[in-house]
Amino acid sequence: MKRRMFNKMIVGAGIALPTMSLFRDGVAYAQGPSGGLTAIINPEPPMLTLPLNQQIPVGTIGGKIYESLLDYDFELKPRPQLAESWQVSDDGLTYTFNLVKTAKWHDGTPFTAADVVFSCDVMLKEVHPRARGVFERCESITAPDDHTVVFKLKEAFGPFLLAFETSSAPIAPKHIYDGTDYRKNPANDTPIGTGPFKLKEWQRGSHIHLVANEDYYIAGQPQLTEIFYKIIPDGASRSVAMETGEAQLSQFADIEPFDVPRLSGLPNLKMTTKGYEFFSPVLWYEMNLRRKPFDDIRFRKAARLLLDPNFIVDKINFGLGKPATGPIASTTPFYEPDVTAYKPDAAAAAALLDEMGLKPDANGVRATIHFLVVPFGEMWTRLAEYFRQALKQGGIEVVLDTTDPGGFAEKISNWEYDTTSNMLYQNGDPALGVARSYISSNIRKGVMFTNTEGYSNPEVDDLFARAAVLTADSERAALYSKVQKILVDELPVLWMTEQQFPTIHDSRLENLIDSAIGVNGTFGRARWA
């Protein structure tokens, strides 16, 4: 009998497997109720220094080590973290944060306002593109005393309080980084934060071991004694680790969508999609608008009419997500549902292609285009295959091109592609996570997650710019409503789904997911029942 089937039978019978080990590396991983946790991480992060790198695995582990000023509830309302309270001036230009007074860095040095000023006004402006875009809006960032920081803005910026999520504005220790080459600082190998967990060991290719911070400033936290993040590159092995209980937590895309229904139905496991509200990723197909025939709106509309987001939700994501209607997710503020709807219609697509002069040849082929497959797992491969299958109905032949992660990033950022797929986070507000993909000022060759498709519309630029500097939600909503209607009519990208990620965990774990950043949170309150 195969090991995988054997494990399914035992777990299905409710039998625990404390002595069976998938991890044959001699490490005594945390096994649960003793107070520790073993979680899956994939892929292995390149580093853990969150101010220097914000990739998904870095944010997940770094969120236990580093903190920012604020945290957010499931409705994206700010709540205290390193700032215990804050005030906003009536004109929306001055934000005053009152910091906690007992926090210490992991090396024992007191945390003060000087660390916040250094991080936000100096270090992050140099090394963190997303933070730079926010803090460059500040006229000054000052510390009147050791526990107060004042941000004075050049002009109002509506989502400013949403800019302090941990991976968006991680606070770094000034005494470690000031005056150094940030990227070459030896402390990057042993990151020092204020969070409830500290790095104890990192065995490359095996695991990352965090231990409880005994000097954490919140009484009674953390309740877990340690966290092992086990690096498991193989998807099937990740599923087996969760089945057997050797790992007690998976997150983001650790588990392939087709395996989620089975694992979530096991008696020893629970599944939730909560905790990703801040990110609210929207998945789309992207076309290089600099090239023909993608520069023609008729071609983009034809492609959209050949695609069915419901198929992606049901057959590729196995119910994880919902069809997207435009650039702003329904789980974030300022979503506008009243936009042009596109329903699958092969006849209407053919008419548009005929109008363009793209007539089918003897083999029924109107045009041949290339699709660069995202090299990050089976879901992305299936998305590419579905795109090819769907467009074939309209006589469009799609050639799938593959590459490695580095090659993919290079080709997309340098505009060396026809079509591809992508998925970007909304980061709590359109000014933080949406506008970047469509404003012409963010057409930046060589930089990923910008306006890589090359869309340009001065009216769209103006609407996004005006909405960003308003503070009244009603005024911002009116502008964002208008910009969504324009974008959905012009289709700079083909939005498909509002993605949901499954967090699967041991059913005995409590308080894991208690904020809008979910598994990227501190886990300070997480415990075994």
| Per CATH, domain 3-42+57-64+195-276+502-528 is 3.40.190.10 | yes
Domain boundaries, the chain: 3-42+57-64+195-276+502-528, 70-177, 282-499
Q: Where are the alpha helices (DSSP H) in 456-495?
A: 458-468, 473-490
Please identify, in words, the CATH class of the domain defined by 70-177: alpha beta
Please provide the DSSP assignment of 360-426 as one string: --TTS--EEEEEE---S-HHHHHHHHHHHHHHHTTTEEEEEE---HHHHHHHHHTT--SEEEEEE--
For residue range 7-64, list pLDDT tens digits in order.
443 333 333 333 345 677 878 788 766 699 999 998 898 899 999 988 889 999 999 9
Per-residue model confidence (pLDDT) at position 15? 35
Q: Where are the alpha helices (DSSP H) in 178-259?
A: 235-244
pLDDT reading at 427 higher than 90: yes
The reply to whether 70-177 and 282-499 are identical in fold is no
Per-residue model confidence (pLDDT) at position 11? 38
Angle at alpha carbon of residue 140, lines to 136 and 142, rounded to 5°: 125
For residue range 327-379, list pLDDT tens digits in order.
999 998 899 999 999 999 999 999 999 999 999 999 999 999 999 999 887 88
User: Taking the model in full, what pTM does it have?
Assistant: 0.86
Angle at alpha carbon of residue 379, lines to 45 and 421, rounded to 5°: 85
CB of 394 closer than 8 Å to CB of 411: no
Q: What is the mean pLDDT of the chain?
A: 93
State how far the Cα of 265 lies from the Cα of 283, in Å rounded to an integer.
26
Per-residue model confidence (pLDDT) at position 9? 38
State how far the Cα of 62 lies from the Cα of 56, in Å rounded to an integer.
10
pLDDT reading at 190 higher than 70: yes
Per-residue model confidence (pLDDT) at position 121? 98
Per-residue model confidence (pLDDT) at position 26? 77
CB of 234 closer than 8 Å to CB of 247: no
Token look-up 């920081």 returns 149
- Nearest CA to 153 out of 92, 221, 110 is that of 92
For residue range 481-512, list pLDDT tens digits in order.
999 999 999 999 999 999 999 999 999 999 99
133 pLDDT tier (thresholds 50, 70, 90): confident
For residue range 440-477, list pLDDT tens digits in order.
999 999 888 889 999 999 999 999 999 999 989 999 99
Assigned architecture for domain 282-499: Roll (3.10)
